[in-house]
Structure 1
Amino acid sequence: YKHNLYKYFTMTSRIVSKIAKGMATSDGGGVKLKRVIGGPIARVDPFLMLDEFKSDNSNDYMAGFPDHPHRGFETVTYMLAGAMEHRDHRGNCGLLTSGSVQWMTAGRGIIHSEMPKMDQGLMHGFQLWVNLPAKDKMMEPRYQDIPPENVPVVTDDNGNRIKVLAGQYKEVVGPVQGVVTAPLLLDVEIAPGATFIEEIPVGHASFAYVFQGTGQFGPKNESQEVKISHIALLDGSKGQTQIEVSSTEGCRFLLAAGKPINESIVQHGPFVMNTEREIMQAISDYRNGKF
């Protein structure tokens, strides 16, 4: 009986298949950041890139991200501190403040800028790139701008605090809707000495990125320590249905999961398509003002 129980528990809890530390780099006008996916981890289908930007030195972020194009995927910006103004070539404008989320579907093409609206203080946030399947790569661009007050916050029985950005936690549904990869995106803060268990859809690729403290990820008999600024890939290849995390000191992390697209990817900077020919078309369209 104990053997069967042990087997059942290990089969339903995802284990950590790889741990990597975010790589220091810069992007845009010279914004200093840590590149996590797209750096030490190549890709986690459907996720193409994850950057964390965090600094209280304005020289590290004031240059921002001037006008640049995107085609073929979605960008997710989640702000923890500071403010970022978004503008695009179609006249759309929005202000991302602390706690807000923007899920932008670039689709067939958008040219936009993301510029800090502050000259001092802490700027902290994330940008996640999510791929689109071939059938949706040329869709009309769209935005889901979510203010902080529209992001549900749940405190569980263990004292953990969970912000539901996309997908569903327990009975609480996040504000981001209609995304083809059916993502789960949570900001999880684990109380010292507590444990957190969450269901992850079977077949979804998933990862956790720790940005405060340290946590033990995986079932107790196979857990691994994941420290601040590290990503843990969570193996669900055998149909595991959940992730278990505990922390002695407390920790905070992004938990992301998404349905893999399983298509060929050809990427040229901010263009992500399926073939070289489509990339050449994207470059031509951009140069000729057809976005």
Structure 2
Amino acid sequence: MKIVRRLRAHATQDGDGVNIHRIADFTQLSLDPYLMIDELKSDQASDYIGGFPPHPHRGIETFTYILRGGFQHQDQMGNVKDIRTGQVQWMSTGFGVMHSEMPLASEDGAMHGFQIWLNMPAKDKLRPAKYQDSSNQSLPYFDNGAGGKLTALAGSWLFAGKTLTSPLNQLTAQAAIADVQLNAHGTANLALQHFEQVVLYIHSGELSQQNLTQGQAVIVDSQVAIELTGGEEGAGVLVLAGQKINEKIAHMGPFVMNTQAELQQAVADFQAGKFGQLAL
């Protein structure tokens, strides 16, 4: 595995005082087509109980993955869904979305999950919004027999000779997202040469041979085989792959467009009520 760049998540807050760790790049776009990786991981309800009250988005796709606990999602399209442990959710916001995400704690009060932002190409930024989740479907997974298991969260994957395709397979930029779980000293090999971008985020344990621990991420050379080995306590690795969009962006809060004029139009459309509203 050839590491191009190392990154570490930093502590911040979002929503109604929710404590998260974030990796983001809205300027150099080194994660392209990804913009941001937010991880919420806590055993204390005070870290997340405020949730994410109603707010807008335009020009991005959001992808949510829950490892423990859950959130209730509601949007102006009429979707009201509980996203719980092991489930995923995708929104292609396009022209605009209004939504809220409020916490559903596990029995022990623990919460662990991700929200990932992906950019959309200019040609798609004003198309109608789309929504999909896995609440009524199972996500495919495969155990390679060497202490490694891959769950296909989005897109299609070839793992240990097995093709796995998630029911969520229409993400922008041909993006594919997987969770690789490694036992202690377990191994997993990934061949992702057909992607231009590959990012690994360690969310649990550590990778022994790369000296990477939870909360760290690496951008790797997609043209070089990726070999992962779990540490003494194993590892959990989020794998984000996709094709680069290669477009400059303009970013302000929940809006990601291509020019400042488009950002101003997004604000004006939101203030004019064109994003709709939640049926509370």
TM-score (norm: length of structure 1): 0.87
Q: Is the 8 A contact 2:17 2:50 kept in 1?
A: yes
Which structure has greater helix proportion? 1
Q: Is the 8 A contact 1:202 1:241 kept in 2?
A: no
Superposition CA RMSD, Å: 1.9
Q: Which residue of 1 aligns with 2:131?
A: 143
Counterparts of 1:128 and 1:265 in 2: how far apart (Å)?
A: 17
Pairing partner for 1:247 from 218, 221, 230: 230
Q: Is the 8 A contact 1:38 1:50 kept in 2?
A: no
Pairing partner for 2:94 from 107, 114, 117: 107
Pairing partner for 2:42 from 55, 74, 78: 55
Q: Is the 8 A contact 2:137 2:167 kept in 1?
A: no
Unaligned 5+ runs, structure 2: 276-280
> Which SS does the other structure have where 1:181 is aligned?
helix
Q: Which residue of 2 aligns with 1:188?
A: 180
Counterparts of 2:75 and 2:197 in 1: how far apart (Å)?
A: 31
What is the Cα deviation at residue 136 of structure 1?
0.6
Q: Is the 8 A contact 2:82 2:135 kept in 1?
A: no
Letter paired with 2:47: D
Q: Is the 8 A contact 1:19 1:226 kept in 2?
A: no
**CA 1:169 to 1:202, structure 2 compared with 1: closer, same or farther past 3 Å?**
closer
Q: Which residue of 2 aligns with 1:259?
A: 243
Check if 1:225 corresponds to 2:211.
yes
Deviations 1:259-280 (A, max 9, x none): 1000111111110001111101
Stretches of 4+ moved more than 4 A in 1? none
What is the Cα deviation at residue 212 of structure 1?
1.2
What is the Cα deviation at residue 148 of structure 1?
7.5
Q: Is the 8 A contact 2:119 2:172 kept in 1?
A: no
Q: Sequence identity of aligned pairs in percent?
A: 38
TM-score (norm: length of structure 2): 0.90
Counterparts of 2:149 and 2:169 in 1: how far apart (Å)?
A: 22
Letter paired with 2:217: I
Counterparts of 1:253 and 1:148 in 2: how far apart (Å)?
A: 25
Counterparts of 1:181 and 1:150 in 2: how far apart (Å)?
A: 24
Pairing partner for 1:79 from 46, 66, 69: 66
